[in-house]
Structure 1
Amino acid sequence: MTGFLKRAVLSIIIPRPVRLKFQRKTSPTESSWLSPVASVLLRPRPRAILNMERVNVRCVEEQDEAMSIAFVYEDMNLCLQRDKNEQLERSLNRIRSSILKKSKIIGKRSNKKLKQDQTQSGENHKDLLLVSLCNSFGKEVDLSSTNSEAWQFGSVLNVGSFKYSVHRNSPTVTNLSLPRCAVISCPVFPRVSFEFAEDAEYVWYRGCPADPSTIVKSTEEVEDDSKVLKKKRREDTSENSTNANEPSVSHWEKVSTEKVYVPSKMDDGFLLKLDCTPKSSSDIGVTAKCFLKNPVRSASTFPFEKRQSFTAKVTPPNSLRVVSYNILADLYADSDFARDVLFSYCPPDILHIDYREQLLLKEIRGYNGDLICLQETGKRLFENSLVPTLKSQGLEGLICYKHLQPEGEAIFYRTSKLRFIESHDIVLSQAFQADGLYDYLRKAVSNNEGMLKRITSRSSVVQVAVFEEIANPSRKICVANTHLYFHPRAGHVRLIQTAIITHHLEHLKKIYKEQHGCDNLAVIFCCDLNSTPGAGAFELVSTGSVAKYAADWYSSGKEEFCGGLAISHSLKLNRCYSSAKYTNYVSGFQGVLDYIFYDHQYLDVEQEVPLPEHSDVVQHTALPSQVFPSDHLALVSDLKWKDA
């Protein structure tokens, strides 16, 4: 072969390429050309070929013009992005050249499989690799076909002597991971996402780690070695990804086929493995695997389990169990400031969302709530954990994110009791600026530019959902859920935010009366007001008014004083847990910030689940801790209809 022809082979510019010239010294007589007809042809065969490797092709017509072709050859992961309208010939050339490139990277390492391909391909010369695509009947696909036309389900890709069945838009696991740790009796939820899948099969295994030194301490024995923990924080947190190496375990024992696994005492000190196989009506995808690399932890009794003895059963028809809980968003816990200042008493691995999430799920599930209002709900926690775990208990979830924030307020409701009608969520700062309902508030606040700017720059929202009872549709409930601005010198801002919320709820009651003939819309208001009893925001909600010269108007000094404003509303709200000493307990503050308000015209308190004992709260200094997943306590109250 002439020098020009050698370069042509290496550059993959042959008009009808069917083979690959590898980098080694040969004489011109050692190589010869083959026509496309000389490619390895397949005999007609059934569509399904057992024990054949897969090539996964992703080609979505309505999306961009690119498609992907992915398969494994000789332990090399190949994934090519090609144009849908490109000719098949160019794609096969690219597959061939990609194998060459990766083989060169392997370098001096023995290429046994490739040598086998060269020998079994029927070539007299060992420097050729044949690549072709055949349809399901064994006929070679026309090289002038477009990629979109050529790569059909049931086709076969031939790379030397190896054959790959084509799976087009096969069900695929796009992400699968487990938390860093698992705790006995706490549900473990896989973080999983799919493409082209309608369902999935899950199989859990447990195995004893080969190296006993990997066994971690129980939650009571966790030590805060700052140097080690800071090093861990710098490590890749995705250690449980599907690409992670399998841990050293002599035997994996199958323990469950459910999506969610709750470790038992038998799992103490063991590792966990999860296999997830995506499925559709026409295909079964590749099984993805992930591992829990830290052995399952033991834990003592959690204080909230004592409270759950009061909520073991779902409430009867004429009652509603309401839960209000600020669950501490990962956004605010996962920072050096949180670890080193706010919650310095809490070991960082206990503060990590992977640990707290499991406690949160166990705690919230155990309250058997009919209406669950959560504040500081992170997006990933809501979608990946809260929605699936509470759905399994018969609850559906609604989310309202704060303006431009990945956390917000969530409402879950029991679908066997309540029918969701509609949402009336608002961003408080936007409603303040645009809604005529708040003209008088804007006029007063406009007297001070600093205060106006402070209010309009806040991201706070109020989540509002209207429900009706399935057993008695004449009973309608308006559930409001909010978390007000936190700054200690922002009582004036919280007053305005509270006024916006109460006026919004008043307006909804008016609409339902005038447009729907409903004059008994009962309000339930769950909130973290960031205000203690006696503060302006609390007084406005609970008493219905606040004076023009209330102290909160002066909370930020003259710089943001608008002159004061008298505010009132007509809602008839009483408070649950009126004797609580605190709902938030951290090293620098202890007090009541969280509330459940209910419409006393239509509802009465039937039960208030006792708050944890103080000795439990301070067992590990403050909240959160090894046994409390948040810096707030959950409020759980059973309300009963007065007309029952």
Structure 2
Amino acid sequence: MYVVSPECQFLYEVMRNTLSKARVVESMSTAHVSSLVKKPFIGSKPLAHSLVALNAAKAARLALAIKSPESEAHPMTTKSTAIENDILKHRHLVELHKVKNPMKTVSVSSYNILSRHYLWETLYNYLPHEYTNWNKRLERLDRSFRDLSKLSDIMCFQEMEYKYYTDYWKSYMKSMNFDSVFEKKPTPGYWKKSPNMMDGVSIFWNTDKFDLLNFEKINFSDYFKNSVNFEQTLDTKQRLNIRNTVAVIAILRHKYTNETIFVSNTHLYWSPKHDDVKLMQTYLLTQLLRHSIARHYRLSVSQVSEMIKQKNGPTIIMAGDFNSNPSSMVYKFMADGLIDRQNVPPTFDQYYGEKFQDQIQNCLGSFKSPYKDLYNKGLFKKTTYTPKFKDVIDYIWFGDCNEKFSFTKVLGDIDQEYLKDYQGFPNKEFPSDHIPILSQFEFK
């Protein structure tokens, strides 16, 4: 027979009352909610009463946020959150390995959300206006974020507009217990709009499951232009230095296991004629990740390399839009950990310095994609869907250097019958020309 202490019973009641009050307060008038928020609740009252009042006030603040004019003006908040999860409407989670302990799992998603400023009519002229209208897309994106947050512990986004991140999405996701870091791309010469409308990459993490230990924002061009890092050849100057590609690294502590995870998110250069650029950008990101790992553990880079060789290295996740399909040099670099210049396509004839002439080595070793088996079996064929281009170019890579970390589930492909009705995305249910990908991992 279990004996429940008065303290445990009290904490249980506080939690139960808080949830109850959050639901009740939603129905109150804004004025009533405001009075609750402003009402003092800690003073000479006994501790128990103060804690209950404190949680009631938190519930009131939550309801006030829901009722704020800014929220009411936004299309997302006028919708009920009791609907089914839209992410799983035409897709399903595929179990690849059994989960042994749900508390030790980590779910990571990646999603290129298609900046409104890249929705050019010449490229997306197959779409009706209702699919390209920003307000309608914004509503669908909000719903996707909300539903993705129910499936993910870490979310990586590409082409997220800086203005909407700072003005809305940052706080919107924080209301669902997700903190974030963001890196905006430098504005290119052709950009005539406000710099705040430029897009970038972001990482969101569930604060119930993770603590942020550190983060790093990366502008690739800053490193390529540095002669200490890269020989300033003609190809370096004309092909690498001029790109406005960025990345962000977050170092997170998994609260339950106390394990540290190094997560990067990037959006590599887009052009199919620049596979070499994407390869060099990936190479640079792995180098910077190794430096982040070395700084965090106060090790030399050679010590980190030795850890990786011994398969007792750190937990590393590299997510993003790599703009590279599974037959690309970037994929080979990640999957094999090495590019041999003797076996590259003849189009890769650029010269980036003597150290890249024979081999281009991944300093973090090889990586695995949880989607590899599904792709090889023809069960997962695309992460972007347009009339002229359907392929896998988005990835959630995890380092093969930590044997204690493995994948368990992925978010599967879209139902093929559904796709027959659409030339490409976005549409009334998918707000981007990409689809979100998601992988669940587990610490052993």
Q: Mapping of 1:443-454 within 5 angstroms?
A: 443=231, 446=233, 449-454=234-239
2:42 maps to none
Q: Deviations over 1:324-371 (max 9, x none)?
A: 1111111212xxxx12x2111112332122111211121222132110
- The answer on 1:469 being equivalent to 2:254 is yes
Q: Mapping of 1:328-477 within 5 angstroms?
A: 328-333=114-119, 338-339=120-121, 341-367=122-148, 368=150, 369-404=152-187, 406-434=198-226, 436=228, 438=229, 442-443=230-231, 446=233, 449-473=234-258, 475-477=259-261
- The answer on 1:306 being equivalent to 2:99 is no
Question: How far apart are the structure 2 equivalents of 1:325 and 1:621?
Answer: 20
1:324 maps to 110
- The answer on 1:506 being equivalent to 2:325 is no
Amino acid at match of 1:471: Y
Of 387, 408, 419 in structure 2, the residue corresponding to residue 587 of structure 1 is 387
SS in 2 for 1:374: strand
SS in 2 for 1:434: coil
Deviation for aligned residue 1:310: 4.8
Preserved contact between residue 91 and residue 414 of structure 2 (Cα < 8 Å): no
Question: How far apart are the structure 1 equivalents of 2:237 and 2:89?
Answer: 46
Indicate how the Cα distance of structure 1 residues 532 and 419 shifts in structure 2: closer, same or farther if over 3 A, else same.
same
Q: Mapping of 1:101-116 within 5 angstroms?
A: none
- Greater RCO structure (CA 8 Å; 6+ sep): 2
Preserved contact between residue 86 and residue 143 of structure 2 (Cα < 8 Å): no
Indicate how the Cα distance of structure 1 residues 276 and 627 shifts in structure 2: closer, same or farther if over 3 A, else same.
closer
Amino acid at match of 1:483: H
- The answer on 1:573 being equivalent to 2:356 is no
1:251 maps to none
The structure carrying a bigger helix percent of its residues is: 2
Question: How far apart are the structure 2 equivalents of 1:584 and 1:424?
Answer: 28
Question: How far apart are the structure 2 equivalents of 1:597 and 1:513?
Answer: 22
Preserved contact between residue 553 and residue 561 of structure 1 (Cα < 8 Å): no
Question: How far apart are the structure 2 equivalents of 1:423 and 1:276?
Answer: 30
Q: Deviations over 1:55-76 (max 9, x none)?
A: xxxxxxxxxxxxxxxxxxxxxx
Preserved contact between residue 544 and residue 568 of structure 1 (Cα < 8 Å): yes
Indicate how the Cα distance of structure 1 residues 291 and 302 shifts in structure 2: closer, same or farther if over 3 A, else same.
closer
Of 366, 391, 412 in structure 2, the residue corresponding to residue 610 of structure 1 is 412
Of 485, 493, 497 in structure 1, the residue corresponding to residue 281 of structure 2 is 497
Deviation for aligned residue 1:619: 2.2
Indicate how the Cα distance of structure 1 residues 591 and 309 shifts in structure 2: closer, same or farther if over 3 A, else same.
closer
Question: How far apart are the structure 2 equivalents of 1:452 and 1:467?
Answer: 35
Question: How far apart are the structure 2 equivalents of 1:393 and 1:522?
Answer: 26
Q: Deviations over 1:384-420 (max 9, x none)?
A: 3322332122111111111236211010001111110
Question: How far apart are the structure 2 equivalents of 1:603 and 1:373?
Answer: 19
SS in 1 for 2:118: helix
Percent identical pairs in the alignment equals 22
Preserved contact between residue 90 and residue 418 of structure 2 (Cα < 8 Å): no
- The answer on 1:637 being equivalent to 2:421 is no
Deviation for aligned residue 1:562: 5.5
1:596 maps to 396
Q: Mapping of 1:76-91 within 5 angstroms?
A: none
Question: How far apart are the structure 1 equivalents of 2:73 and 2:328?
Answer: 50
Question: How far apart are the structure 1 equivalents of 2:34 and 2:177?
Answer: 20
1:624 maps to 426
Q: Which moved more, 1:458-467 or 1:341-350?
A: 341-350
SS in 2 for 1:472: coil
Preserved contact between residue 247 and residue 267 of structure 2 (Cα < 8 Å): yes
Deviation for aligned residue 1:472: 3.2
Preserved contact between residue 104 and residue 256 of structure 2 (Cα < 8 Å): no
Deviation for aligned residue 1:513: 3.5
Indicate how the Cα distance of structure 1 residues 550 and 630 shifts in structure 2: closer, same or farther if over 3 A, else same.
farther
TM-score by length of 1: 0.49
Indicate how the Cα distance of structure 1 residues 290 and 499 shifts in structure 2: closer, same or farther if over 3 A, else same.
closer
Preserved contact between residue 104 and residue 257 of structure 2 (Cα < 8 Å): no
1:542 maps to 335
Aligned positions, number: 343
Preserved contact between residue 322 and residue 371 of structure 1 (Cα < 8 Å): yes
Question: How far apart are the structure 2 equivalents of 1:330 and 1:633?
Answer: 16
Q: Give the structure with higher Rg (CA).
A: 1
TM-score by length of 2: 0.69
The alignment's C-alpha RMSD in Å is 3.3
Q: Which moved more, 1:396-405 or 1:483-492?
A: 396-405
Preserved contact between residue 110 and residue 436 of structure 2 (Cα < 8 Å): yes
Indicate how the Cα distance of structure 1 residues 260 and 620 shifts in structure 2: closer, same or farther if over 3 A, else same.
farther
Preserved contact between residue 454 and residue 493 of structure 1 (Cα < 8 Å): yes
